[in-house]
Amino acid sequence: MSTQSTILLVIIAIFLIAIIVLMMVLIKFIKNDDIEHKVAPKSAKQATPKKETSIKDLISIASDSKKSKDDLAMVVSQFIEEFKFPQKQNGKAPQEAGIYLNLVLLICSHKNADAKIITVLNAGLKKKNPEYVVEIEEYESQGVENRKNRAR
Q: Where are the domains of the chain?
A: 1-50, 55-151
Q: What is the pLDDT of residue 8?
A: 87
Distance CA 87, CA 3 (A): 98
Q: What is the pLDDT of residues 2-60, one digit of tens each?
A: 888 888 888 998 988 989 988 888 888 777 765 555 554 554 445 455 678 899 999 99
pTM: predicted TM-score of the whole model, two decimal places: 0.66
Question: Of 81, 147, 54, which Cα lies nearest the Cα of 108?
Answer: 147
Q: What is the pLDDT of residue 92?
A: 92
* Lowest mean pLDDT segment, chosen from 31-35, 88-92, 119-123: 31-35
Distance CA 29, CA 91 (A): 68
Region class of 54: left (phi > 0), else alpha (psi between -120 and 50), else beta: beta
Element of type H or E holding 85: none
* Lowest mean pLDDT segment, chosen from 12-16, 46-50, 61-65, 133-137: 46-50
